[in-house]
Amino acid sequence: MDPTDETLMALALDAARKAGLAGEVPIGALIYDPSSQKVLTTVSNAPISTHDATAHAEILAIRAAGQIVGNYRLTDLWLYVTLEPCAMCAGAISHARIGRVIYAAPDPKGGGVEHGGKFFEQPTCHWRPDVRAGVLSDDSRDLLKAFFKDRRKTRT
């Protein structure tokens, strides 16, 4: 069975919910291999718990997939992530040669794909994946809004 983008994004959203329950910003990511039709890894955002500013869900997914396939080049693999990747993650995606990026919610403040530096449009970008935006965007946006609303309540 070939899963749909929505089905795979729902799995990434499950990982995002786990991140939120752990006190991390609720972002989840997964790497999918369309040739085998298998999810290689599913991860949650973890900069706070790991004390690592680079532990964004996308970076953790790329690291795990590289270990699984035994190569840092992930050319034929797809990355699903619940929020538009930032410039750092877009750079990692380019260097890993991810074939396709599918993300849920746009990030006008911190995104690096359709917003900000628009990393994949830069002449210095080595690899440009196919990008699909907006898959289950409302679900991701609502999860993020609820997380930050709850955070603001606990600080007052």
Structure tokens at 118: 């628009």
Is 121 catalytic? The answer is no
115-124 core/surface letters (b: 16 or more CB in 10 A; e: else): ebeebbeeee
Q: How far apart are CA 138 and CA 117, in angstroms?
A: 24
Task: Output the known binding site for Zn(2+).
Answer: 56, 86, 89
Cβ distance 83 to 44 under 8 Å?
no
- Reported as half-sphere exposure (CB side, CA atoms, 13 A), residue 113 has a value of 26
Distances (CA, A) of 18 to 25, 59, 65: 10, 17, 20
The strand pairing partners of 29, in sequence order, are: 43, 81
Residues making up the annotated binding site are: 56, 86, 89
58, 84, 114, 121: which one is catalytic? 58
Q: Which residues are catalytic?
A: 58
